Every structure is written in C-alpha cells, then in structure tokens.
Amino acid sequence: MNTTLQQSIERKRDLHILYSYKEIEDYIQTVATFIEDGIYAGEYTILIDNERIQLLVQHELRKRFSDEDMNYLHYINNFHFYYSTGSYHPATIEEYLLATLTPYVDQQLQFRLWAHVEWATIEGPLHVIRDVELSADKTVSKLSFPLICAYNEDRMPDHLKKLLVETHPFLLVNDELVLSELYEKNHTKM
C-alpha cells in the first residue's frame, strides 16, 4: 500500500472501501500497512479477522512496533462478529458494530476499521450481504471513519462482485484508492 490511501484518509475520513485479495501474503502486508499508517497517525485500528490471520498480522507488526504502539490495535474475531447469533444477521451485525465503535466515538478518539468478511460458501441470499454493506456505508458516513471490507476474490462469484462494487464507493486496487463506477449513492436497487 502506498501513501495514496493514507493521503485519502487524511483528506476524507468517511471512506467505505472494498478490498478483494487473492494471495494471503499480499493481504497480510496490506492490512499491516493500514494498521501501521493508523499507528503513525495516532489512530486506533479495529481489526475484525479470523484468529489465524490476526496472529500473522500481529507477527508482522511486532517487527515494526513496540508493545505500547500495539495498544492502538483492537482485535475482534470475525466469526463472533458476523455470526454472534448463529447466522449472518444484518441487524445483529449493525448492533455489534455500533457497540464496538461507541467507546471510540464517546471519547472522541480517531479510529479506522478493517473487516475481513469470509464464510465457507457465498451461496446465501445476496440481500443479506447488501443490507450489511448498506448499513456499514451509512455508519461510515455518519461517524466519519475509514472502513476497509476485505473479501477473498477466489470466493466471490460474479454476482457478489457486482453487488460489492455497487455498495462500496471506493475500491482498493493495486494499492491505490479508486472510485467505484457502479456505486449506487442512493442505494435504490434493493
């Protein structure tokens, strides 16, 4: 990741970004740099990811930062975040997100969020994914913070890719932030 993303974050806080990845090594470097940029900016990073990847990210960050700096990272297990009720339920996810963000907002702390969205299969109803992403988009606008939603490209059928570029105003492509040409500002196609 180059300074383009960080410069964008410095200019505009309310960024809802889609990041699709293929290689786990690239993913680790990208998320580690996102967190690193946050630490240098004095911002907290909330990392919603699986335990295995979280450990790899921490290992990478420990090469760069002290324990004190690592206090700027807050980890949430993505399985618990997305499936706390036993299913991928938009209202519960929104509640969990707001409960997570409230302490940062109440204390007027700058923060950023990285959410790794994954599941065994992506065959479920797309309206559920759309609802979660639209809710996230509204929360980003309301609370003005950067959010990267990471998806494994190999697990994204074409219909899901289209839905995701429609619900994210920005895409992280080759380490650069670009506007989504399919983003539906008013989200009228529901």
Q: Write the pLDDT tens digit of every residue in 34-88.
A: 999 999 999 999 999 999 999 999 999 999 999 999 999 999 998 888 776 666 6
In this predicted structure, what is the pLDDT of residue 190? 40
Strand 111-116 and strand 170-173: the pairing is: unpaired
pLDDT given for residue 189 in this prediction: 44
Is the model's pLDDT at 155 over the cut of 50?
yes
- C-alpha 29/C-alpha 31 separation (Å) is 6
- Which of 100-109, 115-124, 127-136, 155-164 is most confident? 100-109
Q: State the Cα–Cα distance between residues 154 and 122, nearest whole angstrom.
A: 11
pLDDT computed for residue 58 by the predictor: 95
| Backbone angles phi and psi of 126, in degrees to 5 | -65, -25
CA distance 37 to 77: 22
Of 6-10, 67-71, 111-115, give the lowest mean pLDDT range.
Answer: 6-10
Residue found under tokens 């974050």: 9
With a cut of 70, say whether residue 120 has pLDDT above it. Answer: no
The pLDDT value given to residue 105? 97
Q: Measured in whole angstroms, how far is the alpha carbon of residue 160 from the centre of its chain?
A: 17
Kindly report the backbone phi and psi dihedral angles of residue 174, in degrees, each rounded to the nearest multiple of 5, phi listed first: 50, 45
CB atoms inside a 10 Å sphere around CB 95: 13
CATH superfamily name and code, 3-179: P-loop containing nucleotide triphosphate hydrolases (3.40.50.300)
Where in the chain are the domains? 3-179
Range of weakest confidence among 54-68, 96-110, 122-136, 172-186: 122-136
Torsion of CA 18, 47, 112, 22, to 10 degrees: -30
The pLDDT mean for the chain works out to 88
Beta-carbon contacts of 3 under 8 Å, excluding residues fewer than 6 positions away, are: none
Please report, as a single letter, which amino acid is at residue 43: E
Q: Taking 80 as the threshold, does the pLDDT of residue 173 lie above it?
A: yes
Q: What pLDDT does residue 165 have?
A: 95
From residue 72, alpha-carbon distances to 54, 134, 144, 152 in Å are 14, 27, 18, 26
Report pLDDT for 140. Answer: 96
